Structure 1
Amino acid sequence: MAEEFGNYLRQLREQKGLTINQLASLAGISGAQISRIENGRRGVPKPATLRKIAEAADVPYEELMEHAGYLSEDTQSGAEDKVPEWATSKDKRDFRKMLEDDGELMFDGIPLNKEDKQRIKDVLTGLFWDAKQMNKRTIPKHDSSGGKS
């Protein structure tokens, strides 16, 4: 998967007319990291890194997430994540939007500034998509009767 994503990223970068260093600079990551991704020598980037690349290359974040293997048709359609009938509009509020709002948010009584909110969004995005991937994997069942009694 890492090699496939690397090839995709290289093609995307070239279509946008960007060098490795230009993309890296726009995304705020190292040129070496972009190079390793493109050459398949680094695993698929985390969602927070993909967001930086998407913004730098001016492509939809979801497109990169899909090519990286984080999204499938099932997750995009929301078939797995039905909202319960009892959920109110407050229950359905998108946490990302809440962090993006200009309203004051606090953690342990300390107001969060814009950078704090961005860090929280990046960490939660990574954890969210990692959890989605983990839920897709099936754990093989082992025969427990084969051992000593």
Structure 2
Amino acid sequence: MEQSFGSYLKQLREERGWSMNQLAQAAEISGSQISRIENGLRGVPKPQTIRKIADALDGSYEELMKRAGYLESEHTDQKSGVDIPVPEWATYKDKRDFKKMLEDDGDLMFDGIPLDQEDKQRIKDVLTGLFWEAKQMNKRNKKR
């Protein structure tokens, strides 16, 4: 049986020797939210929350996203050759839209200063999570 996201988060936290409150403080989210996630009383957190947890634990954002069910399969970015996670439910059209979004590869700048590769990757990670979350929400809304 596959481990739930909450159980996996608890395992990571305990391996670090942290209390729920220590993780909550490091991730800048509430202790009650950590408790609800770990005890299965709350659904899977949003990608932004998962990013905060991953950063707090110095863990892999991608692995947490996979455990949360956001990322299932891989898509290869043609330019970099890097595998980019794609949810299992994504249709051909969804994948096409995602590829189009990633191919718009102009220089990324902040305050007129080009971003380094690490910052670009962090932005790509956040955009990937937001893109798939929005797609999934749109699919749910169409079913109603």
User: What range is the shorter-chain TM-score in?
Assistant: 0.5 to 0.7
| Alignment length (residue pairs) | 113
Structure 1 segment 6-17 matched on structure 2, within 5 A: 6-17=6-17
What's the TM-score, normalizing by structure 2? 0.61
Relative CO higher for 1 or 2, CA cutoff 8 Å, sep ≥ 6?
A: 1
Question: Alpha-carbon deviations, 1:53-76, whole Å to 9, x = none?
Answer: 000000011111111000012357
1:131 is aligned, of 125, 131, 134, to 134
Question: 49-58 or 125-134: which moved more?
Answer: 125-134
Give the 3 Å change call, closer, same or farther, for CA 26–32 of structure 1 in structure 2: same
Q: Is the Cα contact below 8 Å between 1:47 and 1:129 reproduced in 2?
A: no
Q: Larger radius of gyration, structure 1 or 2?
A: 1
Which structure features the higher share of strand residues?
Answer: 2
Q: Is the Cα contact below 8 Å between 1:27 and 1:55 reproduced in 2?
A: yes
Displacement over 4 Å in runs of 4+: 81-84, 120-126, 134-137
Cα distance, 1:11 vs structure 2 = 0.5
Percent identical across equivalent pairs?
58
Cα distance, 1:93 vs structure 2 = 3.9
Question: Alpha-carbon deviations, 1:97-124, whole Å to 9, x = none?
Answer: x3xx44349xxxxxxxxxxxxxx99985
Q: Considering only aligned residues, what root-mean-square deviation do their CA atoms show, in Å? A: 3.6
Q: Is the Cα contact below 8 Å between 1:54 and 1:60 reproduced in 2?
A: yes
What's the TM-score, normalizing by structure 1? 0.59
